[in-house]
Each structure stands twice: as structure tokens, then as C-alpha cells.
């Protein structure tokens, strides 16, 4: 079984977080959906902030977390897409 490293874990020469491409499709979709929705919800909260109640460091932290969540979700969705292409046509 070849585990695929998450893009977000490639910050060094040795990735530490991996995707099991053989996991059930529903589990992969659930994982991806949770991360994408979490990023969406966080960005929705950020969109309501004003310059009075958020500083540059806060916005940088929010954008970093959103990027990590979205990247992980997209990496897993890519695995799901690859698996779906291998499924026989109905």
C-alpha cells in the first residue's frame, strides 16, 4: 500500500502526514469535507472582521490555517478523483 504525503506536510525532506489512498471512499470524502467546511466557516468569520477587531498577525494566522485545511482537503479530493476514474462505468 503506497501512502501519499499530504502537500502540507512537505515542509521538510521527510513528510509526516499521509493519505491512505485505499481507505473507503466515504471516509476520504468525509475527511476532505470536514477540512474544506472548517476553512469555509473560518473564512466566513474572518470576512466579518473589521480593521478595529483584527490585526495583521490575526489575519496571517487565519489565512495560514485556511490554506492548510484547504490544501489537505484538496489533496484528499484528488485521491478520490483518481479512484473514481478507476471505477467501472455503470
Q: What is the pLDDT of residues 6-31, one digit of tens each?
A: 998 877 678 889 999 999 999 999 99
Dist CA 77 CA 15 (whole Å): 19
17 belongs to a structural domain? no
32 belongs to a structural domain? yes
Say if residues 2 and 21 touch (Cβ distance below 8 Å). Answer: yes
40 belongs to a structural domain? yes
For 62-73, write each residue's pLDDT tens digit.
889 999 999 999
The alpha-helical segments, DSSP class H, found in the chain are 25-47, 56-86
Compute how many other C-beta atoms are within 10 angstroms of the C-beta atom of residue 54.
Answer: 14
Domain count for the chain: 1
Dist CA 79 CA 90 (whole Å): 20
Say if residues 42 and 61 touch (Cβ distance below 8 Å). Answer: no
Print the domain residue range for 78: 25-86
Amino acid at each position: 500500500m503506497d501512502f501519499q504525503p499530504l502537500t502540507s506536510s512537505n515542509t521538510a525532506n521527510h513528510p509526516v502526514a499521509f493519505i491512505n489512498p485505499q481507505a473507503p471512499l466515504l471516509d476520504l470524502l468525509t475527511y476532505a469535507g470536514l477540512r474544506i467546511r472548517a476553512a469555509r466557516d473560518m473564512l466566513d468569520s474572518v470576512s466579518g472582521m473589521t480593521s478595529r477587531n483584527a490585526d495583521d498577525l490575526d489575519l496571517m494566522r487565519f489565512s495560514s490555517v485556511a490554506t492548510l485545511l484547504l490544501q489537505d482537503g484538496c489533496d484528499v479530493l484528488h485521491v478520490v478523483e483518481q479512484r473514481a476514474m478507476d471505477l467501472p462505468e455503470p
